[in-house]
Amino acid sequence: MIRAGRQHLVRTLADLAAQRGVGIDRYTRLKPYEADGFPAPVSSPESRTRLYDGEQVDAYLLGKPVPPLPEPEAEDDGDLLDRRECAALIGVSPRSWDAYKNDPALIEARIEAGGVDHWPRRAVKAFQAARPGRDAAATRGGRPTRTGDQVPRDQVPALVAELLDADPTISAATVTERLGVHRDTAQQALTRLRADRIADHIAAHPTLTPTEAAAQLGYPAGQVRRATARAGTVLRARNVTPYLAEVAAALHRAGWTTTEAVPDVQLPGDDRVVAALVLDADRAPAPAVVWDERYGWRTAASRRHPITKGAALPSEGEGVRYLAGGIAPPPGDVVAALTTTPDA
């Protein structure tokens, strides 16, 4: 964690490399931060981004005694916690926190330090105390008749994640009873959470099939048919995201988007990957472009609804044009195709 009042001292590995006057690649090859006596990171042990306290590093490099940080037991509400530390504080998994952090209060409290999202301890504690539905996840109150969902929709994924953490075999019926939500709401949340976790497990163990990954996670075979199917789609979406980002960057360089936005990736029907990118600049050649893993790129006639409903492919005409070049043409080819008229 970053101790209260020390955010301005945070340094990344890139900062330490610059301090030594070398590039980050050379610095990480030399690994001087692994030498005996080098200050420990202030980031979580499992964090991908190492963060250090600059005062401690400076003292070490000058050969002076490294000043200690406040003891972990000395909690301060101004301490900044990363996602793993926030999850540990309120007793949930980091995956559950990833859903909780979309709460408006936590969005407002979020602080970036060293390129990593953090939250003040006080904000996490306040969120835990006021968390909608927190008692519903721990008690069996059931769902009253003739009522709607008893938990706000935006809180359902985090609460279901908490239940799934405690019992991988939990059913939609049990979620409905525990949270007081509609059965369809419970089933959708379980399917999406299990699919994401199956995909995460396969990413860590690439030789596994979705069915094998589900079994290792403790998910009953009879409950995860849709989740295993969606997990395969999630993995394909993750794999294609860097390519889509490259195309987005090329379209921005062409002057057709006002910001280098990441495409909006969707998984219609849980079985295919589709992405849309709105071309919001005045001289853009189309209102939007859509990528579909079945056919590649096409233009769209609407900025508000570029992805059409249903599995049927939209017909060409009235602003819709399929761009040649295959499923994943180079970004430059996408730009060229958009500047070429159909009759050219």
Q: Grade residue 147 by pLDDT with cuts at 50, 70 and 90.
A: very low
Lowest mean pLDDT among 8-22, 45-59, 245-259, 302-316: 302-316
**Alpha-carbon span 151 to 136, nearest angstrom:** 8
**Alpha-carbon span 249 to 151, nearest angstrom:** 39
Identify how many contiguous H helices and E strands the chain contains and give both numbers.
Answer: 13, 9
Q: Are 266 and 237 in contact (CB under 8 A)?
A: no
**Alpha-carbon span 11 to 185, nearest angstrom:** 43
Among 256, 258, 208, residue whose Cα is nearest residue 232: 208
**Mean pLDDT computed over 234-256:** 93
Among 206, 208, 225, residue whose Cα is nearest residue 216: 208
Lowest mean pLDDT among 10-14, 142-146, 207-211, 271-275: 142-146
Lowest mean pLDDT among 22-26, 140-144, 241-245: 140-144
Measured CA to CA in angstroms, residue 286 lies from 273, 289, 300 at distances of 21, 7, 7
Q: Are 152 and 132 in contact (CB under 8 A)?
A: yes
Give residues with Cβ within 8 angstroms of 225, minimum separation 6: none
pLDDT digits (tens, 9 = 90+) for 108-139: 889 988 889 999 999 999 888 876 555 444 44
**Mean pLDDT computed over 172-186:** 87
Q: Which amino acid is at 278?
A: V
**Alpha-carbon span 257 to 334, nearest angstrom:** 14
Q: Are 271 and 318 in contact (CB under 8 A)?
A: no
Give residues with Cβ within 8 angstroms of 67, minimum separation 6: 55, 56, 59
Please give the angle made by the CA atoms of 9, 15 and 20, to the nearest 5 degrees.
115
The reported pTM is 0.58
Q: Could you tell me where the DSSP H helices lie in the chain?
A: 13-20, 24-30, 54-61, 83-90, 94-100, 104-109, 121-130, 156-166, 172-179, 183-204, 210-216, 225-253, 331-339
Give residues with Cβ within 8 angstroms of 266, minimum separation 6: 273, 274, 275, 276, 307
Give residue 150's pLDDT.
57
pLDDT digits (tens, 9 = 90+) for 182-231: 888 889 999 999 999 999 999 999 999 999 999 999 998 888 889 999 99
Report the relative pairing of strands 116-120 and 264-266 from DSSP bridges. unpaired
Give residue 32's pLDDT.
92
Please give the angle made by the CA atoms of 111, 13 and 80, to the nearest 5 degrees.
25
Residue 96 has pLDDT above 50, yes or no: yes
Give residue 140's pLDDT.
39
306 burial type by CB count under 10 A (0-12 exposed, 13-18 middle, 19+ buried) = buried
Residue-by-residue DSSP string for 94-113: HHHHHHHTTSHHHHHH-EEE
Q: What is the DSSP letter of 68?
A: P
pLDDT digits (tens, 9 = 90+) for 58-86: 999 999 999 998 776 677 888 999 998 99
**Angle 183-204/156-166 helices, nearest 10 degrees?**
60
Residue 142 has pLDDT above 60, yes or no: no
